[in-house]
């Protein structure tokens, strides 16, 4: 038996009659959920909260919101993603008609609000007008009350007006803002033409949206965690991810079956993690809509050391993907260090890669940002680390220690550390998705599925790996897509 991982292999070039710019990065997360880029953020409490999930979906991928929090907060986090950019601003910033222009401008500056066009309400909360950019532009006295300069003859629509109807009204009447009103005239939301137009005409076409133009979002649960699953589904989640360290187990198989037979018939159910063909097949047979593969490759994971168990990731992906039908995508979870690992995972059979450490390092992660010796870092910890297991049951459940209350009795399988800050998720994924297009070009594959079926992986020797990295040079400048740590 031989276990190979990313550094043990390299991709072989193949004839291409097209340029990298002509390639497509579209792929699948699960049976019914597409991705515009094959990247998924990990269900970890230093990686994916609502901000990361929003960023991932906006960039064309998807985030899996972690489960190390109580059910109500978890459902709230999902709602935040789902309501983020459906065009309707649920709670628009509004001002009282008796406030002054000075107050409004101070608030705008304070909160760095890049937009104008604020609904203005009366003392009873009823909409009285809109303060447009034009109103502000021609106002030469900041002491004036908002009611003196606002536009009061405005068009409104009923609460519940759809995005499509709002678009028609705004085009017809040439208006930039459309407030929605409740029966009693109170503000129920606001459509802004900029957002509505981008969603309807597809100028935001990279975004990963559902049929209601809402950002897609996944969330993690533990085996038999049906109350959490129900709350997440009610909050509008697109996929439930049964997130465990040992997915080839009775609890995971039974949970997949029960979810698919009942409450989750309308959402996709992803299950894992496994690292073998039989493990993947068991979950696919139970009805899983995608299989998550990764036993021990994670950058913060110590399972292979502490328990002596795990399968090097390329071999695990290869085995799992060959064992299930092609409509059950494989998510390669963990161990991605460089962008070149992504096409290797795809050629081995993965449809997407899940990343922890690389995304923990970004602005949108919930991980604490720290400064050390003049450089920025972000705290990143394994869900099986002592710190994560102490702070939440969801994390303990991932490692089958949900009932252990006394933390001195916990057996960790992960560590806590820090990763160098990398800017925004967008800047990391720009490099990763961009590099993937070049990989596709080198491998003569126009699409991700094509690379999956025709990619050729060569075995690399230790000297081959040494040759692959920069050598016989001291790096003096950071490269945006090459780091050894």
Binding site for ligand RVP (CB under 6 A): 42, 44, 273, 294, 298-301, 303, 333-336, 354-357, 382-385, 413-414
CB of 412 to ligand RVP, least distance (A): 7
Q: Which of residues 97 and 333 has its CB atom nearest to ligand RVP in the complex?
A: 333
Query: Is 139 annotated as contributing to ligand binding?
Result: no
301 is catalytic: yes
CB of 443 to ligand RVP, least distance (A): 23
**Which one is catalytic: 301, 396, 422, 443?**
301
Query: Is 335 annotated as contributing to ligand binding?
Result: yes
Q: Which of residues 232 and 383 has its CB atom nearest to ligand RVP in the complex?
A: 383
398 is catalytic: yes
CB of 57 to ligand RVP, least distance (A): 18
Query: Is 44 annotated as contributing to ligand binding?
Result: no
CB of 286 to ligand RVP, least distance (A): 20
Query: Is 21 annotated as contributing to ligand binding?
Result: no
3-state secondary structure the chain: CCCCCHHHEEECCCCCCCCHHHCCCCEEEECCEEECCCEEECCCCCCCCHHHHHHHHHCCCEEEECCCCCHHHHHHHHHHHHCCCCCEECCCCCEECCCEHHHHHHHHHHCCCCCCCEEEECCCCEEEEEECHHHHHCCCCCCCEHHHHCECCCCCEECCCCHHHHHHHHHHHCCCEEEEECCCCEEEEEEEHHHHHHHHHCCCCCCCECCCCCECCEEEECCCCHHHHHHHHHCCCCEEEEECCCCCCHHHHHHHHHHHHCCCCCCEEEEEEECCHHHHHHHHHHCCCEEEECCCCCCCECHHHHCCCCCCHHHHHHHHHHHCCCCCCEEEECCCCCCCHHHHHHHHCCCEEEECHHHHCCCCCCCCEEEECCEEEEEEECCCCHHHHHHCHHHHHHCCCCCCCCHHHCCCCECEEEEECCCCHHHHHHHHHHHHHHHHHHCCCCCHHHHHHHCCEEECCHHHHHHHCCCCCCCCCCECCECCC
Q: Which of residues 87 and 335 has its CB atom nearest to ligand RVP in the complex?
A: 335
Q: Which of residues 20 and 366 has its CB atom nearest to ligand RVP in the complex?
A: 366
CB of 172 to ligand RVP, least distance (A): 48
Query: Is 356 annotated as contributing to ligand binding?
Result: yes
Q: Which of residues 334 and 343 has its CB atom nearest to ligand RVP in the complex?
A: 334
**Which one is catalytic: 58, 216, 398, 418?**
398
Query: Is 381 annotated as contributing to ligand binding?
Result: yes
Query: Is 469 annotated as contributing to ligand binding?
Result: yes
Annotated binding-site residues for IMP read 299, 333-335, 356-357, 380-384, 413
* Known binding-site residue numbers for NAD(+): 243, 294-296
Residues labelled catalytic: 301, 398
């Amino acid at each position: 038996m031989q276990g190979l991982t990313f550094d043990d292999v390299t991709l072989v070039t193949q004839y291409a009659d097209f340029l990298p710019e002509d390639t497509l990065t579209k792929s699948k997360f699960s049976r019914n959920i597409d991705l515009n880029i094959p990247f998924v953020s990990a269900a970890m409490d230093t990686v994916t909260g609502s901000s990361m999930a929003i960023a991932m979906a906006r960039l064309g991928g998807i985030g899996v919101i972690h489960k190390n929090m109580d059910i109500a907060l978890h459902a709230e986090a999902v709602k935040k993603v789902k309501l983020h950019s459906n065009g309707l601003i649920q709670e628009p910033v509004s001002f009282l008609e008796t406030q002054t222009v000075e107050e409004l401008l101070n608030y705008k500056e304070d909160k760095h609000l890049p937009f104008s066009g604020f609904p203005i309400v009366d003392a009873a909360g009823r909409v009285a007008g809109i303060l447009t950019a034009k109103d502000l532009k021609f106002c030469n006295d900041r002491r004036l009350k908002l009611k003196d300069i606002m536009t009061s003859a405005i068009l409104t629509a009923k609460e519940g007006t759809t995005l499509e109807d709002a678009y028609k009204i705004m085009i017809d009447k040439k208006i930039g803002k459309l407030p929605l009103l409740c029966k009693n005239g109170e503000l129920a939301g606001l459509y802004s033409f900029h957002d509505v137009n981008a969603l309807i005409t597809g100028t935001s076409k990279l975004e990963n949206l559902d049929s209601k133009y809402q950002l897609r979002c996944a969330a993690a649960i533990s085996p038999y965690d049906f109350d959490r699953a129900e709350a997440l589904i009610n909050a509008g989640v697109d996929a439930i991810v049964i997130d465990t360290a040992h997915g080839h187990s009775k609890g995971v198989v039974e949970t997949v079956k029960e979810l698919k037979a009942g409450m989750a018939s309308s959402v996709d159910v992803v299950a894992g993690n496994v690292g073998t063909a039989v493990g993947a097949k068991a979950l696919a047979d139970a009805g899983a809509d995608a299989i998550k593969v990764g036993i021990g490759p994670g950058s913060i994971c110590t399972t292979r050391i502490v328990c002596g168990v795990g399968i090097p990731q390329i071999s695990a992906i290869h085995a799992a993907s060959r064992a299930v039908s092609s409509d059950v995508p494989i998510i390669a979870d963990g161990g991605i260090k460089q962008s070149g690992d992504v096409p290797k995972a795809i050629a081995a059979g993965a449809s997407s890669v899940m990343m922890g450490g690389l995304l923990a390092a970004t602005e949108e992660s919930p991980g604490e940002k720290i400064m050390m010796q003049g450089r920025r870092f972000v705290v990143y910890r394994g869900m099986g680390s002592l710190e994560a297991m102490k702070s939440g049951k969801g994390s303990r459940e991932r490692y089958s220690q949900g009932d252990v209350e006394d933390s001195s009795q916990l057996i960790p399988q992960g560590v806590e550390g820090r990763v160098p800050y990398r800017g925004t998720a967008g800047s990391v994924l720009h490099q990763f998705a961009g590099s993937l297009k070049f990989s596709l070009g080198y491998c003569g594959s126009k699409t991700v599925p094509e690379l999956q079926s025709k990619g050729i992986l060569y075995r690399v020797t230790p000297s081959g790996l040494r040759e692959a990295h920069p050598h016989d040079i001291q790096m003096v400048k950071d490269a945006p897509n090459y780091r050894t740590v």
